[in-house]
Structure 1
Amino acid sequence: MERDLTGRRRRARELLLLALGAVALAVLMHWPLALHLGDHVAKDLGDPLAQAWQVAWGGHALTAQPLHLFDANQFYPYPDTLAFSDALLGYAPAGLIGNGPRAAVARYDVLYLLAYALAFAGAYLLARELGAPPAAAFLAGAAFAYSPWRLEQAGHLHVISSGGIPLALALLVRGYRDDRSGPRPWVVLAGWAVATWQLTLGWTLGLQLAYLLLALALVLLLRGWRPPRPTWAATAAGVVLFAGIGLAIGRVYLRVAELFPSARRGPEVVAAYSGSPLEFLAAGRDSLVWSGATAPLRENLNAVAEQALFPGLVIVALAAFGAWRGPWPRPLRLGLLAGALVTAVLALGYADADLRFLFPYGWLSVLPGWEAIRTPGRLMTLTTLALALLAAAGAQRLAARPGAGWRWAPVALTALVLVEGSAFSLDGGRLSGPPNPAAPRAPAGLAAATPPLLQLPIEAEDNRRYLLWSTAGFPRMVNGRSSTNPPAFLALRTRAAGFPDAASVARLRALGVRTVVLHRARLAGTSWAGWRGRPWRGLGISRELRDGVVLYRIPPRRR
């Protein structure tokens, strides 16, 4: 009894130190972002702005329209527009804290740091469950959370938010283990709950986790393993929860795919984001160690953020040693090695759409759900996890070698992993932190616009800003951000180039748009740069000059 109590206290202390250490490391690796929460945006002014809006919308919808979470204020007047991309619904409760664009950016920055912390903690706990001591598990956490591959994914919160995968696996391993303490049904249920939460963050990783769990279950069942009887009810409840939430969310995405067939990624689209094995040698542009050395390889990539797949030299070398000489059971090491190799091959996609069935990913893509995935390279999430665990096994073996100095091998190797995965840069001999640009501020005149809105210019870079600014009240607007743009939106974007003219005004009035907003600071080089000379009288609209914007008000047609 006393021994059990001591063990629980030791476990609680380890978990507390892990949580504090994971957060501290995330803050350090992205310094000085923590000093500018709400004022600066992690990584860049692209997708992070739209994803800050997504989280804010989730919180708004939970209170304002909980039965219509996906009917967001973008792409008016279409329904289910939150499902035009990974929705990050799992972060919706965070959206209940604070209001407006500054709160949205601060919330995003905090979630960004916590995503890295959870990835580190999840991999640490999984390595511990598989037999790694704390120092080796620390290396596994660092290798998974800060692999050089993740540097180019830093602008995609739905991709870096991968910590639920190893955490769910760690809980399931612990819950199903029939050791001296016996199986733990509540831990099993917690594992399935975490897996379900990971699924709600988006299909990009949720689909990978679903098929990983299915594959692991099949392998274990074929090897004769059966869940301990005390966990049957928890297993059934967990599977029902995971499948039920997945099907409920999937129905919304299927509705979108039926309305817009382009939501199903065709072979040509997937091929454009696929590549050759040389992608595994291409590091991200922000890599402190490898950016310059691998620049020639990046020049041949169609999309660097999706195709730079370098997992890290230290991680790969340690993983190879761990697979060969690691102290873990041989079937486990071989299974992790096979998982790393299979997912790495799948991450390459297929180079030729017409010959796709000659590539392994071509066969994977015919399974349910994969037609929604555009970027095969994000399967590197699972590759990196397997490599990180094998690297922990390798570090554990090195630490067990005779000689006092070898005990510190995991610590030294972890430091190398962190340096290799760092986005710091050397500028004139001075070390600078990762890029965290200042958040754009909305012009004051925007608050006077009456929704529904059309904001101009209407390019992707502009629309992301408008979404962030729309967190002040969430006005409905024609603008939106997605890789699946409705055809009518694309047609309207073309027609709006002539605004204000009779054709564009008539179309906007028919849509129900009440205000067209011209952002004067962003008009240079666009068709609206000469807005002062464009006639508008006689079109049945009015024009107002406000702080930073021009408002064209379109009253409804008189009946």
Structure 2
Amino acid sequence: MVFWPIAALFGLVGGWNVTQLLVYALAGLLACAWLRELGLPRGPALAGGLAFAIAPYRVEQSVGHLLGPISVLLPLALWAFERARRENKWWLVLSGAALASIPLSGQVHLALGAIPFFLAYALVREWRLWPHALGCVAAAAGAGILVRQTVIVRSTQAGGRTLDEVSIYSARWSDFVTRHVDHGRSEQFVFLGWVTPLVALVGVVLLVRTRRYGIAALLGLGALVPILLALGTKLPLYSVLWHALPPFRFPRVPERLLPIACLCIAALVAFAVARTRALAVVVVAIAVLFVDLHARVYGKSAADTSNAAYAALSDAPRGRLLELPVFDPSVHYGSTYLWYDTSALRQRPGGYSTTAPKIGKSTAQRLERLNCGDWSGDTGAVLRRLGVKWIAFHRGLFVNNTAVPDTTYFAWRGLVRHGWSAREASGVVWLVALGRGPPQQLPEPDRNGAYFCQGWYGSRASGGRFMSETHAPFWIHGGGTLRLFFAPSPLSRRFTVDGTPQRGPVLRLGRADWHLITVDVPRLVPHGHKRVGLLLRGLLVG
């Protein structure tokens, strides 16, 4: 509702940037307004509003997530509650709407902390309004249940997340004092500043000294608990919560509650600054906050607003679009394709959503083999059933991508061998369709190596490669025979060479060329914290 009118005026890219700036201003103003309702002078309240607006975690979660912008609803709910205390109870309607909007926006994990925090805040600030606050909580809880029943329960996340998944995204203690953003671990960027937390501790001490025990405990715990939970499985506490409270089994990123800590730290900073009314102290505090909370999160990138392949697609005959490489719906690289959907609107079997329907995940898993030029199992018929007439071949997404091996050459080789050709190939994205077109060439990889596709993990240096899926292909160049060496396993196995079944483990390759080898097992078996198939220890051509 906020973005689309702005986008109509400034365009999608400019509109998003303007919206981001407006949300930062709104975050600071709402936090400042709430602190003013708590009786703080204008200067300290401004300092607190600034600390919340530019909190590094909130900023990071505004770059590629909605968590940062949506977190402004928490100070809005608290401000409206304070207005209800002072003026009219109808202000609680705004509190309830703000709280309910958190899960409705998709930020269900934040709601898990925001709802009990608001309830505790209401008890501390005005226990006589507690029944009304319960109404706000009921509205938010109802919104969360609605999201669960309409979106989550039929999605790939209906069964929740494992603790192993949580451990991948768990922060380390050092992350809280690390200003540098490691874009490979952006979810674990939880920098709180170096001076700001110390000033917040001063705020706690000052509140206790003035006998404001309730607000001191609330803000102190509101900062501490999300910080501890951000450590995820690195502390036993999270495992206990995961087993005891079913809602905690669904989020995979334990840092999602940190906006609450950011707001509490900002409030404590404001109380510390309010210890003196000197204007100079406020000015210095604001300057220190700008320096202490600075982190290089944003970067400039081209929006690719005039992509030739998608421009050609917009005028092309009807038909569904598949984009290669194919990603699991939970992998964020799939969001790249959503951008191009704004210029060439087509139905597509892929995309990005952490709550994608189960059929979306199984379809992606079936089509992922195209990333490696593996058309086994009559994948061409699968594309026909899906109504795919066009393929956007994103060569750049194969390069230096941990989510997919760099198998661009083999993916293109598979397309060409099954009758697909490029209709527009002037850029890094090629538009591909069935039928003859101008020939396109890609550099051939080194013939001395084997190239493993999705379905394998590990390396020879680590003792071999495990199958991570029941179907695992790889490419190798050579002729004659190929012998595969597997670790002992009771699993039965099936092999194909270029689509032709063979008994194995000695396979006939035929003439010297690139050959696609597939290995299939009926199921995966437990191995440590993973489920795996066979362990390939080595291979020998000749």
* Fold equivalence (TM over 0.5): yes
What corresponds to 1:175 in structure 2? 84
Paired residues of 1:315 and 1:417 also in contact (CA < 8 A): yes
Of all paired residues, the percent bearing the same amino acid is: 27
- Cα offset, 1:94, TM superposition: 3.0
CA drift of 1:383 comes to: 1.4
Q: Offset at 1:309?
A: 2.2
1:156 counterpart = 2:64: yes
CA–CA separation in structure 2 for the residues paired with 1:511 and 1:268: 34
Aligned: 1:226 with 2:128: yes
> 1:435 matched to which residue of 2?
299
- Structure of greater relative contact order (alpha carbons < 8 Å, 6+ residues apart): 1
| Change beyond 3 A, Cα 1:134–1:394 | same
Task: Map Cα deviations across residues 246-288 of structure 1 (whole Å, 9 max, x no partner).
Answer: 332221233334xx25761111111222244333222233xxx
The letter for the 1-side match of 2:218 is: G
Work out which of the residue numbers 423, 440, 446 in structure 2 matches 1:544: 423
SS at match of 1:544: strand
> Structure 1, unaligned stretches of length 5 or more?
1-91, 178-182, 286-297, 400-405, 425-432, 555-559
Q: Give the direction of change, closer, same or farther, for the CA distance of 1:160–1:137 in structure 2 (3 Å limit).
A: same
In structure 2, what residue type is equivalent to 1:343?
P
Residue identity in the other structure for 2:222: G
Task: Give the Cα–Cα distance (whole angstroms) in 1 for the partners of residues 201 and 232 of structure 2.
Answer: 24
Matches within 5 A, 1:331-480: 331-351=214-234, 358-360=236-238, 362-363=240-241, 366-399=244-277, 406-423=278-295, 434-441=298-305, 442-443=307-308, 444-449=311-316, 450-458=318-326, 463-472=334-343, 474-480=345-351
CA distance in 2: counterparts of 1:377 and 1:487, whole angstroms: 29
Q: CA RMSD in A?
A: 3.5
Task: Name whichever structure is richer in helix by fraction.
Answer: 1
**Does 1:321 find its partner at 2:202?**
yes
- Give the superposition deviation at 1:366: 3.8
Query: Whole-Å Cα distance in 2 between the matches of residues 139 and 387 of structure 1?
Result: 11
Instruction: Give the TM-score, by structure 1 length.
Output: 0.65
Q: Determine which of 160, 163, 186 is the counterpart of 1:264.
A: 160
Query: Is 1:281 the equivalent of 2:177?
Result: yes
- Assess if the C-alpha contact under 8 Å between 2:169 and 2:252 holds in 1: yes
3-state SS of paired residue (1:397): coil
The two structures have a TM-score, normalised by structure 2, of: 0.67
Work out whether 1:197 is the aligned partner of 2:97. no
Cα distance in 1 for residues equivalent to 2:177 and 2:33: 29
Cα deviation per residue 1:478-518 (whole Å; 9 max; x = unaligned)? Answer: 22124567133123111453277893321111222222233
**CA contact under 8 A between 2:34 and 2:78: conserved in structure 1?**
yes
Say if 1:529 and 1:462 are closer, same or farther in 2 by CA, change over 3 A.
farther
Separation (CA, whole Å) in 1 of partners of 2:349 and 2:98: 35
Q: Following the alignment from structure 2 to structure 1, what is the Cα–Cα distance between the partners of residues 171 and 376? A: 45
In structure 2, do the counterparts of structure 1 residues 313 and 250 end up closer, same or farther at CA, with 3 Å as the change threshold? same
2:211, 2:280 → 1: CA distance? 20
From 389, 392, 395, the counterpart of 1:514: 389
Distance 1:107 1:500, change over 3 A: farther
Q: How does 1:229-248 map to 2 (within 5 A)?
A: 238-239=136-137, 241-248=139-146
Question: C-alpha distance in 2, partners of 1:531/1:377?
Answer: 37
Does the CA-based 8 Å contact 1:149-1:283 persist in structure 2? no
Secondary structure in 1 matching 2:274: helix
Q: Bigger radius of gyration, 1 or 2?
A: 2
SS in structure 1 opposite 2:342? coil
Kindly provide the amino acid, as one letter, of the partner of residue 174 in structure 1. R
Amino acid at match of 2:337: Y
Would the aligned equivalents of 1:122 and 1:166 in 2 still touch at CA under 8 Å?
yes
* 8 Å contact kept, 1:497–1:528: yes
2:151 aligned residue (250, 253, 272): 253
Whole-Å separation in 2 of the counterparts to 1:153 and 1:462: 17
> In terms of mean alpha carbon deviation, does 145-154 or 128-137 score higher?
145-154
Q: 1:417: how far off?
A: 0.4
Q: Does 1:140 align with 2:48?
A: yes
Contact 1:501 1:536 in 2 (8 A): no
Bigger drift between 407-416 and 440-449 goes to: 440-449
Letter in 1 for 2:152: L
Matched residues in 2 for 1:534 and 1:381: separation?
47
Change in Cα spacing, 1:495 to 1:156, as seen in structure 2 (3 Å) is closer
